[in-house]
Amino acid sequence: MGSPTDCQVAIIGAGPAGSAAAILLASRGREVILIDAGIFPRSKLCAGLLTAKTIDCLRNELGLNVKSMQAGGIIYHRLHAFRIYHRRRLLARDRLETPFHLADRRSYDAYLLRAAGRAGAGIITGQKVTRIDPGRGIIRTAGGKTIRSQVIIAADGIWSKARKIVLQAGRKNQLAWRRNLALALESRAPGFGATPVPFYAGLHLGYLEWGYGWSFPSPRQRLVGICGLASRHHGRLGVKFRQMLADLGIDHRLAGLPAAWPLPYGNYLSRPWHLRLLLAGDACGLADPLLGEGIYYAHKSGLLAARAVLAAGSFPLDCGPIYQRFYSSQLISNLRWIKLARNFLFGLGAMGPLALERFMARHGLLVQRAVHGQIPFRSLFGAWLAGCWKIRDK
């Protein structure tokens, strides 16, 4: 084993969470090492839908040139309309006030990694981290490297090794965490060129009691997927996915075998740190518990972890409590409302689609803005309550 490499911040995982943290810290002059098990460009199963808050984060918080990402095909398409279906029944349709963007995760993640390198971060790829010492800030890789740092940011995704350390330290149960884990299946059907396909982002309900399907068309491909709480839909996902494809008129042989991957679905940790170790992104369960959006939460949590490091100055043990404050107020407060909306919608059972149809007819624009992050999610509850009062007063 060679002598340890020293740095101020070691970041495990170069997905959207880890690279965002590395870009901010390196651009502020911190000595950063960003380490990933993969060799880039590497694949990541993801539909790549970016909302306005993600585009804003890329542009204004990470200082990236979104236009050049579009010109380079990294962000390859825009969707200007949406439709929500319950099986074959249309519940809502409209133009989008602000479009959704679609990103190709292979080139997106590689682009962010290069940006971290340009900002001054040391990059190590193809090295899997196998040991983490949160007390001394030391990590070891399967290839025999040792890195010693003041703070470790672990953005090592859904199978995070670091999360186990944090859960054990808080005497939290891994099984409880898994209960709110979703499993997703995704296929790529041919794009606009092959068969006439719709131009809108499709949200497809009614196949899973606690989950949803999506369809994102583009000239390149039509991404179709389904995602639901694994604890409730164990083993039935494939059958439901085929039903959804049939309703969409997609020949499942053309879509090919779906790929499967888990994603967090309401199992965000309330305390995402232990000693010198801070968790970000999927590692601490940060994805929208209604629509599964994770890229924004990965970027944002990586940035907040980086901001905590910058704010703590030369006191690395202060990073955890500072990160906790940022994390609770800027991420968890909104995610709690989204989870409440999810529980409300799916908890209503057969009445859920009807309630959604009515709500979208009245407040569709507010829903769009909440999804894009332009207004907080809790304002949807305000609109709903105001509607209830009006009915009562009539």
Ligand X SMILES: Cc1cc2nc3c(=O)[nH]c(=O)nc-3n(C[C@H](O)[C@H](O)[C@H](O)COP(=O)(O)OP(=O)(O)OC[C@H]3O[C@@H](n4cnc5c(N)ncnc54)[C@H](O)[C@@H]3O)c2cc1C
Binding site for ligand X (CB under 6 A): 12-18, 35-38, 44-49, 128-129, 155-157, 161, 184, 186, 225, 261, 263, 281-283, 287, 292-296, 298
Between 316 and 373, whose beta carbon lies closer to ligand X? 373
The crossing angle, in degrees rounded to 10, of helices 16-27 and 295-312 is: 30
CA 2 to CA 190: how far, in whole Å? 49
Q: Residue with the closest Cβ to ligand X?
A: 294
Strands (DSSP E) found in 240-308: 259-264, 273-274, 277-279
| Residues contacting residue 387 through CB under 8 Å, at least 6 positions apart | 362, 363
CA 160 to CA 164: how far, in whole Å? 7
In the complex, minimum distance from the CB of residue 321 to ligand X, in angstroms, rounded to a whole number: 22
Between 16 and 316, whose beta carbon lies closer to ligand X? 16
In the complex, minimum distance from the CB of residue 116 to ligand X, in angstroms, rounded to a whole number: 12
Strand partners, 21: none
In the complex, minimum distance from the CB of residue 46 to ligand X, in angstroms, rounded to a whole number: 4
Between 152 and 295, whose beta carbon lies closer to ligand X? 295
- Exposure string for 372-387, b = 16+ CB within 10 A, e = fewer: bbebebeebeeebeee
In the complex, minimum distance from the CB of residue 361 to ligand X, in angstroms, rounded to a whole number: 26
Strands (DSSP E) found in the chain: 5-12, 32-36, 49-50, 75-86, 89-103, 122-125, 129-133, 138-141, 146-154, 181-190, 201-205, 211-217, 221-229, 259-264, 273-274, 277-279
Between 186 and 345, whose beta carbon lies closer to ligand X? 186
In the complex, minimum distance from the CB of residue 141 to ligand X, in angstroms, rounded to a whole number: 7
In the complex, minimum distance from the CB of residue 156 to ligand X, in angstroms, rounded to a whole number: 4
Between 262 and 352, whose beta carbon lies closer to ligand X? 262
In the complex, minimum distance from the CB of residue 48 to ligand X, in angstroms, rounded to a whole number: 5
CA 32 to CA 26: how far, in whole Å? 6
> Do residues 170 and 156 make contact, with C-beta atoms less than 8 angstroms apart?
no
In the complex, minimum distance from the CB of residue 324 to ligand X, in angstroms, rounded to a whole number: 18
Look up residue 9 and give its amino acid: V
Between 4 and 387, whose beta carbon lies closer to ligand X? 4
Between 166 and 363, whose beta carbon lies closer to ligand X? 166
Handedness of CA 322, 278, 21, 301 (dihedral sign): negative
Between 33 and 322, whose beta carbon lies closer to ligand X? 33
> Do residues 216 and 201 make contact, with C-beta atoms less than 8 angstroms apart?
yes
